[in-house]
DNA sequence: TTGCTCCTCACGTCACGTGAGGTGGC
DNA sequence: TTGCTCCTCACGTCACGTGAGGTGGC
């Protein structure tokens, strides 16, 4: 397999920086396939795939140490069967991590969306063109309540400028 | 409103550490409602809500600087209408952020799930009880391909121990 | 009075970012 | 030969973690 990708190519292909690629090398999780006489690194398509996997696992919130142990799954396994079992174990654990993150993110997105709708509905009425009116709603979304605490208007008991 | 929550209460209620709460105070985004004579902080229920919002926005990947500007939305707005407009703008932007994160996470989770199924299916057959057999599949999931690169077995051209 | 919690420094860490100054390669 | 990319230090930063040593409050 040809090693014809530079560190800049990896950075462009993944949307990250050259520094990040270099840092992963310092941490021992992505070694270039070749290094030229002048010190320029050369990577293969497989290295790019490995890098993409690293970013995927980072997206799940895994620290580099855990990612290293996933990538090094083989060492520490004496038989193919043991490797297969550990592989399955790792996959199940990280799918769970992904689910938990997804649940939290979905909840946050739902709250923000509810806030947006509440703000848009209330502000389309002409009577109260101030967010404090939205905050006064029963069951106003959290972000509306919190932002409203740090402000007031003529309808409240403090003054909005 | 009674300020009867300690920093430890906030930590317990959110599942984070006291140090994090203190750090947010250092950064000026969560000030205790009261401080006792002996220096002990006291927070209200509203402070807890504010803290929860901060964690929600952190979940979206917002840095503390941006969170500060969201919480300080009021300052810099001269009229209620301007505040409402900015509020809407911020909500739309952060809902988009959440969608992008959700998309990436869903993709990663799907890949891990496909990998798990591939590993389980292939390994239930008795012919090839080694993950290298899974990696040989057409369109094997990325994590399988990458892990397989750093290992081999009797079926490959290198040796699995 | 006894614990448990809380306090204040202050240094450590993780995952990079950001120049400064110099060289390689199509 | 001229740029553009890549290189190596090396210090900075962001969001906390982690003790050490001391005090507060039900």
Question: Taking 90 as the threshold, does the pLDDT of residue A31 lie above it?
Answer: yes
B71-81 confidence digits (pLDDT tens): 999 887 888 88
**pLDDT > 80? residue A159:** no
DSSP run (H or E) holding A90: helix A80-124
Q: Does residue B55 sit in helix, strand or coil?
A: helix
The gap from C-alpha A47 to its chain's centroid, in whole angstroms, comes to 21
Whether the model pTM is above 0.85: yes
Classify residue B158 by its DSSP letter: S
Residues 27-66/A with CB within 7 Å of nucleic chain C are 27, 36-40, 58, 63-65
pLDDT of A154: 45
Chain A nearest CA to B157, separation (Å): 15
Residue range A13-30: mean pLDDT, rounded: 98
How large is the average pLDDT for residues B86-101? 97
- Residue B152 clears pLDDT 60, i.e. is over it: no
The pLDDT assigned to B82 comes to 85
CA atoms of A54 and A10, how far apart (whole Å) = 12
For chain B, give the number of residues: 161
Q: What is the pLDDT of residues A46-96, one digit of tens each?
A: 999 999 999 999 999 999 999 999 999 988 788 888 888 999 999 999 999
Nearest-angstrom CA–CA distance, B72 and B151: 53
**Is A73 in Cβ contact with B119 (below 8 Å)?**
no
Residue with tokens 């959700």: B102
Q: In chain A, how long is the greatest CA-to-CA distance?
A: 74
| Residue of chain A minimizing CA distance to B92 | A116
Q: Give the integer Cα–Cα distance in Å for A51 and B146.
A: 9
> Does A72 touch chain B if contact means CB atoms closer than 8 Å?
yes
**DSSP label of B41:** E
Question: Which of A1, A106, A99, A10 lies closest to A54 in space, CA to CA?
Answer: A10
Other residues' Cβ atoms within 10 Å of the Cβ of residue B70 = 21
Q: Does B35 touch chain A (CB under 8 A)?
A: no
DSSP A153: -
Interatomic CA distance for residues B130 and B140, integer angstroms: 14
Place of tokens 């109260």: A128
- How many Cβ atoms from other residues are within 10 Å of residue A69's Cβ? 15
pLDDT of A156 reads 45
Which comes out higher in pLDDT, residue B79 or B133? B79
Residues sharing a CB contact under 8 Å with residue B80, sequence separation 6 or more, in sequence order: A129, A130, A131, A132, A153, A160
- Nearest residue to D18 via alpha carbon and C1': B19
Answer for the pair A128, B81: CB distance below 8 angstroms, yes or no: no
């Amino acid at each position: 397999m040809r090693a014809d990708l530079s560190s800049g190519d990896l950075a462009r292909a993944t949307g990250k920086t050259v520094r990040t690629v270099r840092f992963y090398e310092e941490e021992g999780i992505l070694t270039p396939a070749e290094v030229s006489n002048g010190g320029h690194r050369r990577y293969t398509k497989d290295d790019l795939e490995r890098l993409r996997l690293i970013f995927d696992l980072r997206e799940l919130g895994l620290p580099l140490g855990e990612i290293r142990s996933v990538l090094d799954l083989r060492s520490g396994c004496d038989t193919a069967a043991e490797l297969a079992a550990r592989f399955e174990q790792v996959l199940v654990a990280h799918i769970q991590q992904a689910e938990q993150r997804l649940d939290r993110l979905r909840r946050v997105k739902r709250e923000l969306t509810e806030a947006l709708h509440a703000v848009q509905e209330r502000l389309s009425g002409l009577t109260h063109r101030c967010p404090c009116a939205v905050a006064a709603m029963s069951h106003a979304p959290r972000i509306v309540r919190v932002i409203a605490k740090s402000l007031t208007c003529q309808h409240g008991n403090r003054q909005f400028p």
